[in-house]
Structure 1
Amino acid sequence: MRRGAFKRGLTLFWWLTIAFLYLPLAVIVFYSFNSANSAAHFAGFSLRWYDRLFHNDQLLGALSNSLVLGLASSIVALIIGTLIGYGMYRHRSRKLGWLIVLIYLPIVMPDIVFGISEMAFFVSIDRQFGVLGPSLATMIIAHVTFQIPFVALIVYSRFVGLDPTLFEAAKDLYASPYKRARHFLLPTLKPSLIAAFFLSFTLSVDDFVISFFTAGPENATLPIYIWGAIRRGVSPEINAIATLMIGAVMIAAVLSLLFNRQGRRQ
């Protein structure tokens, strides 16, 4: 009897936690279809705010910046992070505790500290050499710096799960380094690489603090645009933007999870 009551209690706690996490998002999605001009009350379903979004030049520009930023930074972070993850695996027997700390540091560091440090660095370089002024390029560099650790750890975890004799078998079959990379490493790492890319893209699209400190005057992303618009009050248009972002992030997160699971099964 007590065991059954305990399980029911855990089930209830689980659903309450899920409700606590996702009810605010559900409210935003619901009010994004509000036909009223105010988000304070619901006057009926309408797609007028979504129609306005696709005729808003500022919003489309922010969306374009977010996509370029997310794709460019994710690709660069994927390449560098994969190399770092492979290096961590190859030299795992050595005492590389300091390297692990350096990899984890951008993950645990507060975004505000990371953003301010990036801004100070770019401003200093710009004053000294006249390059790396606030722009989309500085945003890409800043995003790459906090995406690399996630990619490196995902790739490293995939390497650790492999049978070490597979590498020796490839050498015994006289496979050159190029052939080992093309026919063994890349196919084996493919699910992890795809998962790492989608995770990096999700982090980039969702980021506000670091983007805010490193963006130029004409390089606003969707989170920055939302922050500027919400200062004038929450409107159904803001809810519609947030709904589209929620959908994009959820799709990327689900794809990342699926590919990561596929990689573990192989």
Structure 2
Amino acid sequence: MKKRTLRRGLTAIWWLILIFLYLPLAVVVLFSFNSANSAASFTGVSLRWYKRLMGNEEILSALSNSLILAIVSSAVALVIGCLIGYGMYRHRHRKLGWLIVLIYLPIVLPDIVFGISEMAFFVQIHRMTGLLQPGLGTMIIAHVTFQIPFVALIVYSRFVGLDPTLFEAAKDLYASPAQRAFHFMLPTIKPALISAFFLSFTLSVDDFVISFFTAGPDSATLPIYIWGAIKKGVSPEINAIATLMIGAVTIAAILSLLFSHRRQP
């Protein structure tokens, strides 16, 4: 009887937590279809705010910057993170505590500290060399730096889960290093790579703090645009933008989760 009561209590707490987390998002989605000019009351269902988004050049420019930033930075982070993850696996028996600290540091470091340090670095480099002027390029570099640890850890966990004898079997079959890489390792860790890419994409689209400190005047992303527009008040148009971002991040997160649990035959 006590176990059943405890189970029901934990279930109720679980549902309360889910409601607390996702009810605000549901409200944002609901009011994005509001036909009224104000976000204070819901008077009816309409797609007028989504239509206005399609004709707003500033929003389309911010969306384009967000997509370019997310895709390019995720692709670069995937390549570098994959190499680091494989290196961590190859040398896992050595004492690499310092490397583990360096990998985890961008993950646990507060975004505002990371963003300010990136901004100061780019400013100093630009003063000395004229390179790395704040803009989309600096944002891509900044995003890559915090995406790499996630990719490296996902790839490393995939390699750790493999049977070590598979690598020896590939060598015994006289496979060259290139053949082992393209015909054995890459197909084997393909789900992890796809999962890591979509996770990096999600992190990039969702990021505001680091993007804000490393952006230029013509490289505003959707989060930066929302932050600037919300100063005038929350309008249904802002809710529509937020809804589109919620949908994009949700789809990327679901794809990342599906591929991370996909098993090889």
Specify the TM-score bucket, using the shorter chain as the normaliser.
Answer: over 0.9
Following superposition of structure 1 onto structure 2, how do residues 34-183 of structure 1 map, counting pairs within 5 Å? 34-183=34-183
1:6 shift after superposition: 1.1
Tell me how far apart the structure 1 counterparts of residues 61 and 174 of structure 2 sit (CA, whole Å).
52
Secondary structure (helix, strand or coil) at the match of 2:262 reads helix
Tell me how far apart the structure 1 counterparts of residues 112 and 217 of structure 2 sit (CA, whole Å).
19
Aligned to 2:237: 237
Following superposition of structure 1 onto structure 2, how do residues 162-241 of structure 1 map, counting pairs within 5 Å? 162-241=162-241
1:26-83 Cα shifts (integer Å, max 9, x gaps): 0000000000000000110000000000110000000000000000000000000000
Tell me how far apart the structure 1 counterparts of residues 97 and 25 of structure 2 sit (CA, whole Å).
40
Q: TM-score, normalised by structure 2?
A: 0.99
Secondary structure (helix, strand or coil) at the match of 2:35 reads coil
1:5 shift after superposition: 1.1
Letter in 2 for 1:47: L
Unaligned runs of at least 5 residues, structure 2: none
1:148 shift after superposition: 0.2
Secondary structure (helix, strand or coil) at the match of 1:112 reads helix
Tell me how far apart the structure 1 counterparts of residues 161 and 137 of structure 2 sit (CA, whole Å).
36
Secondary structure (helix, strand or coil) at the match of 2:115 reads helix
Unaligned runs of at least 5 residues, structure 1: none
Tell me how far apart the structure 1 counterparts of residues 40 and 226 of structure 2 sit (CA, whole Å).
18
What is the root-mean-square deviation of aligned Cα atoms in Å? Answer: 0.7
Identity of aligned residues (%): 77
1:76-116 Cα shifts (integer Å, max 9, x gaps): 00000000000000000000000000000000000000000
Tell me how far apart the structure 2 counterparts of residues 142 and 2 of structure 1 sit (CA, whole Å).
52
Structure 1's consecutive aligned runs of 4 or more residues displaced over 3 angstroms after TM superposition are: none
Q: TM-score, normalised by structure 1?
A: 0.99
Tell me how far apart the structure 2 counterparts of residues 205 and 29 of structure 1 sit (CA, whole Å).
18
Secondary structure (helix, strand or coil) at the match of 2:261 reads helix
Aligned pairs, how many?
A: 265
1:107-160 Cα shifts (integer Å, max 9, x gaps): 000000000000000000000000001010000000000000000000000000
Tell me how far apart the structure 2 counterparts of residues 221 and 189 of structure 1 sit (CA, whole Å).
32
Matched, 1:260 2:260: yes
Tell me how far apart the structure 2 counterparts of residues 60 and 35 of structure 1 sit (CA, whole Å).
22
1:231 shift after superposition: 0.5
Tell me how far apart the structure 1 counterparts of residues 127 and 3 of structure 2 sit (CA, whole Å).
67
1:185-211 Cα shifts (integer Å, max 9, x gaps): 011010000000000000000000000
Tell me how far apart the structure 2 counterparts of residues 120 and 151 of structure 1 sit (CA, whole Å).
26
Secondary structure (helix, strand or coil) at the match of 1:34 reads coil
